[in-house]
Structure 1
Amino acid sequence: MNGEPVLSARGVGRSFGAVRALDDVTLDLRAGEVTALVGDNGAGKSTLVKILSGVVVPDTGRIVLGGEPVRIVRPHDARALGIATVHQDLGLCENLDVVANLFLGAEPHRWSLLRSLRMERTARDLLASLDVRIPDLRTPVASLSGGQRQSVAIARALLGEPRAVLLDEPTAALGVEQTAQVLALIRRLRERGLAVLVISHNLADVRAVSDRIAVLRLGRAAGVFPTAETTTEAVLAAITGAGAAA
């Protein structure tokens, strides 16, 4: 797609002691587009996501939002700038119901029945707009399926009306039906005009939902591939460094 990227990492690098986790990595995320980030374990995917979400501060390079350099040194900075992240552990409280989880950390200072009803209505409208079906929003999250939990975590990220959404392994450990539900939800994020980054090891899921595939290998960018114009073999070659992609 054309146009100014919503969110970019420019020449980003990060070391942990003697280990160079990322080295001169550039990545662009555009509105209405799903970018998949793939690579072997240790390739630097998680470090890049942590940098974009404010968990880790880069040693070199810069983050650009809407064409302007921004400083992100903590998760609050990222959220305030409209960058929402759904980490692999989801960060849900299993003993709380769906509504409470959606508003976790953003509850009204004073509880009242009217505020509670407004929160439930907002939660219902948001989930309906995403075509997420959870019959009883007062159900504890512990009783939901894996796909439903992932959907609740993604919906919670949208409450702040973000510009970019980062999803870390959103289909990991899900069954076939639950995976299909989450992939459909990711497509709906794209339809809402969001810039979406999906980190995944599953190339079948990546090909099903992404517009572009960005590859990291040993902490360095190893290529960006338009999904519709490339093959799984080409992506695998970039991941492993085989042949011309080495």
Structure 2
Amino acid sequence: MTTPALQARGLVKRYGQVTAIDGADFDLDAGEVLAVVGDNGAGKSSLIKALSGALIPDEGTVLLDGVETHFHSPLDARHAGIETVHQTLALAPAMDIATNLFLGREVRRTGPLGSVFRLLDRNAMRSQAQDQLDALGIETVQHIGQLVETLSGGQRQAVAVARAAMFGSKIVIMDEPTAALGVKESGQVLDLIRRIRDRGLPVVLISHDMPQVFEIADRIHVHRLGRRTAVVRPADASMSQVVSLMTGALRPGDPDAPPNLVDS
């Protein structure tokens, strides 16, 4: 048995009378794509925020590589090697691809030019950015100096994913990465996710697209009413069964339910 890359036990988050996370558990294994699915209002966004430092839970424990950790901000999670690709992508449209990949982590020139005058080493950033795109097999970008505002939706998503893979030494979290993309561009993003997994980085994928979830995920975490309802393997479940678990029409342990990999 290997230690999970990321775990949570008994996470709770309350907003007054509203409980967004209600004793939630979470397990991400090394080298897997774990899809997190749930109906609107299930609390999956709050769960992911707690795991990525954007939300501080009232109760519970988060473990990274088996070691208890406390994130007080997204920057803490980033320093720990957890990168998140949000739906907004957090890209600067008026800047080029290389600058976006290093946004907030710019490479400065050596010597006084970098330490005193704080001049950027744009050549180094462009070279490293191109190496990252090549390593991920991103061939849709024409030039590393291209402004992000000139890119298509799929190309922008690829840039955001490449940035996460470049600096995420432990885990990459993706929130609806194919939302608003066409079939071809969605397929390209799924290919990127596979390549990231093949490089050894575990991926958390939040998605409403069931066909994509069943195509890419190694396991599916079903979230309902603020907590984990079940974890199933796509090979052991049907889409209708997973949707029924999401809505409560089917419960773990029911005769028609798929095998649950964890205690509910």
Output the TM-score relative to the length of structure 1. 0.95
Deviation at 1:102, TM superposition (A): 0.5
1:174 and 2:181 matched = yes
Distance 2:66 2:102 in 1: 31
Q: Does 1:204 align with 2:203?
A: no
Tell me which residue corresponds to 1:81: 80
- In the TM superposition, residue 32 of structure 1 has moved relative to its aligned partner by 1.0
Q: Deviations over 1:26-64 (max 9, x none)?
A: 111111100000001110111011111111000111100
For the residues of structure 2 that align with 1:135 and 1:15, how far apart are their CA atoms?
A: 47
> Counterpart in 2 of 1:187?
194
Mapped contact 2:222–2:231 kept (Cα < 8 A)? yes
- The DSSP-based 3-state class of the residue aligned with 2:134 is helix
Matched with 1:138 is: 145
SS at match of 2:167: coil
Distance (whole Å) between structure 2 residues aligned to residue 235 and residue 214 of structure 1: 10
1:243 is displaced (CA, Å) by: 3.5
The aligned counterpart of 2:15 is 16
Using the size of structure 2 for normalisation, the TM-score is: 0.89
- In structure 2, list runs of 5 or more residues that go unmatched: 109-113, 255-264
1:126 has 2:132 as partner: yes
Kindly indicate whether the alpha-carbon contact (under 8 Å) linking 2:82 and 2:168 is maintained by their aligned counterparts in 1.
no
Question: What SS does structure 2 have at the residue aligned with 1:57?
Answer: coil
CA distance in 1, matches of 2:158, 2:227: 31
**In structure 2, the residue corresponding to 1:184 is in which secondary structure?**
helix
- 2:119 pairs, out of 111, 115, 121, with 111
Unaligned runs of 5+ in 1: none
Task: List structure 1 segments (4+ residues) > 6 angstroms apart after TM superposition.
Answer: none
Deviation at 1:233, TM superposition (A): 1.4
Quote the Cα distance in structure 1 between the aligned partners of 2:145 and 2:250.
54
What's the counterpart of residue 70 of structure 1?
Answer: 69
2:42 aligned with 1:43: yes
Question: 2:127 & 2:251 partners in 1: Cα distance?
Answer: 54
Greater relative contact order, per chain length (Cα 8 Å cut-off, separation 6+): 1
**Amino acid paired to 1:179:** S
How many angstroms does 1:159 deviate by?
2.7
Q: Secondary structure at the match of 2:245?
A: helix
1:162-203 per-residue CA deviation (whole Å, 9 max, x = no partner) reads 211100000101000000000000001110111110000110
Q: Across the two proteins, how many residue pairs are aligned to each other? A: 243
Q: Partner letter of residue 19 of structure 1? A: V
Q: CA deviation at 1:161?
A: 4.2
Rounded to whole Å, the distance in 2 between the matches of 1:196 and 1:14 is: 24
Deviates more, 1:165-174 or 1:221-230: 221-230
Q: Answer yes or no: is the 8 Å Cα contact 2:165–2:196 preserved in 1.
A: no
Amino acid at match of 1:81: A
Aligned positions of 1:210-221 closer than 5 A: 210-221=217-228
Distance 1:188 1:243 in 2: 34
* Distance across 2 between alignment mates of 1:82 and 1:229: 32
RMSD: 1.3
- Residues of 2 paired with 1:223 and 1:137: CA distance? 43
- The structural deviation recorded for 1:229 is 1.6
Write the letter of the residue equivalent to 1:70. T
